[in-house]
Amino acid sequence: MTDQGPMTEAMYYILLALLRPGHGYGMMRRIQELSGGRLVMGPGTLYGVLARMNREELIVLTGEEGRRKNYAITPAGRSALLAEYARLKRMVADGDILEEAER
């Protein structure tokens, strides 16, 4: 599943957080950490996106700790994340002309 269009912000950060496998609440804290506190993801958003990415095989359920479910990124998810990262980098690079114009 690497041919999808641009990712949503929530998908991007969840995949980033899952570079280190973990459960839902851990992911939420990690996302807040990764975004420097900018992004506080609600449980509804998180679970909705997890369910969708699980269906699309970007992530996989690896086990359960009590009621908590642990997830990990799949090779397809990693490819999609890398593709999105590359797309974002290109977009940022394309935006360099803005800085030149501002000078």
Partner 1 sequence: MNRRRYRFHPGDYELGENEKFYGDMEAQGWRLVSRGAFLSRFAPAEPSAARYRVEVAEENYYAYLSDEDMDDGRLAVFADCGWEFVTGRRLLRIFRAPAGSDAPEFYMDPRQQAATLKTLHRQHLIGWIPTLFTLLFSLFLQSRRLGGLAYFHRAWVEETALCLLLLAAVAWLVYVNLHAAWHVGRVIRRMKRGQPLDHSPRSRRHVHRAVCWGLAGAMVLCGLLAAAQRMEARAGELPLLTTEPYLLPGELGLPGERTLKEGSVTHSRSLLADCWDVYEKMSASQENTVWIWQDVYLLGTERAAVSMAQSLMGTATFGDRGRSFHPIDPGELDMAWAAGELELVAVKGRLAAHITYIGDGFWDPVAICRALEEKWAG
Sequence-ordered alpha helix ranges (H) in 1-103:
9-17, 24-34, 43-55, 75-94, 96-102
Contact 54, 10 (CB under 8 A): no
**Nearest approach, Cβ of 24 to partner 1 (angstroms)?**
4
**Nearest approach, Cβ of 98 to partner 1 (angstroms)?**
25
Cβ neighbours, 10 Å, residue 12: 19
Q: Provide the mask over 31-70, with x wherever binding to partner 1 is found by CB under 8 A and - wherever it is not.
A: --------xxxxxxxxxxx--------------x-xxxx-
Q: In the complex with partner 1, which residue's Cβ is closer, 6 or 82?
A: 6
The residue count for binding partner 1 (CB under 8 A) is 21
DSSP 3: -
The CA distance from 75 to 49, in Å, is: 18
Binder of partner 1 out of 15, 16, 18, 28 (CB under 8 A): 28
Q: Provide the mask over 72-101, with x wherever binding to partner 1 is found by CB under 8 A and - wherever it is not.
A: ------------------------------
